[in-house]
Amino acid sequence: MSPKSLQDLLDRATTTLAAAGIQDAARDARRLMAFVLNLPAHEIAFQRDRVLTLAEQGRFGDAIQARAAHKPVSKIIGQRSFWKHDFLVTNDTLDPRPETEMLVAEALSHPFATMLDLGTGTGCILISCLLDRPQAQGTGTDLSAAALAVATRNAQHLGAAPRAHFLQADWFNGVSGRFDLIVSNPPYIAADEMALLSPDVHAWDPHLALSPGGDGLAAYRRIAEGAAAHLVASGRLLLEIGPTQGQAVVALLAAHGFAAIRILPDLDGRDRVVACQLPDPR
């Protein structure tokens, strides 16, 4: 292997990724180059003539081969930007997605002092909310001990650890107390839809975090059944949903006595969040 310039390596990498069916191949090649060289992404354009060492070429080649196998860039570099911060991600966690920021925005639209995040994964929803509400406390639950370890690291790294608590639990099992706000981005992909997912998702995100099997509504049934016992009067419940699940989730929540039920669209106009409230019995 002879030394090659940054631009030459980017050109070859872009061709490799495009041939593997990677959309935005040039963008991903630049992001991986920035990662390998530990540079801000915008610096790449100013170093086109830089000659990489053989070690740097080897690391870049490994990263490109991983991306050509449809491993997400975030899981190659080990982090993903979400809301206002960068979160650690691993193969044990769902890759945080921009559409989930809609859930955070709605959570922050009203005051809260305590919150519960069911199926917390990386902790990105809980931690993002707490960092924007410095007086609030929160608990994140997950069935996966490995995911909870990632969430704990994220809380420590981003300065939310004193106020973010994590608990291994199957939805509400083992959760005590009542909260002003409950949020969740649960697994919601139906069993017959799993094969339709992109390779980036199907091969690299944990299936436990993607699908509960069956019709994809099992988690919503559990949450709708148990949430009232863990909310204060007038407490809010916010759920991310698949774009075709709005009416089914609304019906589940209404059947369990929730009020002020709304379906909120994401930036693409697709149903994304169901918001509701526990009535005040007074």
Q: How confident is the model at residue 213 (pLDDT cuts 50, 70, 90)?
A: confident
Kindly report, residue by residue over 115-128, the tens digit of the pLDDT. Answer: 999 999 999 999 99
Kindly report, residue by residue over 233-258, the tens digit of the pLDDT. Answer: 999 999 999 999 999 999 999 999 99
- For residue 211, the model assigns a pLDDT of 72
- For residue 282, the model assigns a pLDDT of 63
- For residue 207, the model assigns a pLDDT of 74
Q: What percent of the chain has pLDDT over 90?
A: 79
Q: Where in the chain is the domain with CATH 3.40.50.150?
A: 82-277
Q: Where in the chain is the domain with CATH 1.10.8?
A: 6-69
Kindly report, residue by residue over 145-174, the tens digit of the pLDDT. Answer: 999 999 999 999 999 999 999 999 999 999
Asked whether the beta carbons of 217 and 246 are under 8 A apart, the reply is: no
Q: What's 6-69's CATH class?
A: mainly alpha
- For residue 118, the model assigns a pLDDT of 97
**C-alpha angle 110/143/225, rounded to 5°?**
55
- For residue 170, the model assigns a pLDDT of 92
Asked if the model's pLDDT at residue 59 lies above 80, the reply is yes
Whole-model pTM above 0.85? yes
CATH tag for 82-277 (out of 3.10.20.30, 1.10.3720.10, 3.40.50.150, 3.30.2130.10): 3.40.50.150
Q: How far apart are CA 76 and CA 98, in angstroms?
A: 18
